[in-house]
Amino acid sequence: MQKINFTLKGLRADEMRFALTNVRPSKDGRFEVKPAFSRQVRRAVGNEKLFFVSLAVKIENTEGSPKPIELSVRLTGVFEAEVSGEEESKAFTVQATEVLYPYLRASVTNLTTAAYAAPLVLPVVNGGIFPEDREPSPEEDGYTS
């Protein structure tokens, strides 16, 4: 994937929510966390070089998948980049996500710690967070040696 030159101009927290539920963890105090990630990329109106990339994570307590917590964090980064074409747009989106993810990860840990709950630490991710961001392996690409 090609390297895109861009600058992170600013970062804001759009949403940071944490709530305890009535669900109790198992006897060992552990519970399975399946965070759901989402992303939205928008271009600024009137400035083709300005992008808003929002990255969010949610942990929801549902009947089918009970959790002792509910969490929602959404951060938006303001980026300046010169992007033209589909390939550059995809490369920018992947690279901007890689820049934002550590901030999202820290926000989740800080939020849970500030709530006097056990700190929740999202995993370190090398490469694409979203499946569509990952480079296909030779097996997936149909390449054989």
* Cα–Cα nearest to 8, from 54, 74, 77: 77
CATH, residue 21: 3.10.420.10
- Please give the model's pTM, rounded to 2 decimal places: 0.86
Residue 132 lies in a domain: no
Mean pLDDT of each 10-residue bin along the chain, 145 residues long: 91 96 78 89 94 97 89 98 92 94 97 92 86 69 44
- Give SS3 for 21: coil
d(CA 86, CA 81) in angstroms, rounded, equals 14
- Domain range holding 51? 6-117
Residue 125 lies in a domain: no
Residue 67 lies in a domain: yes
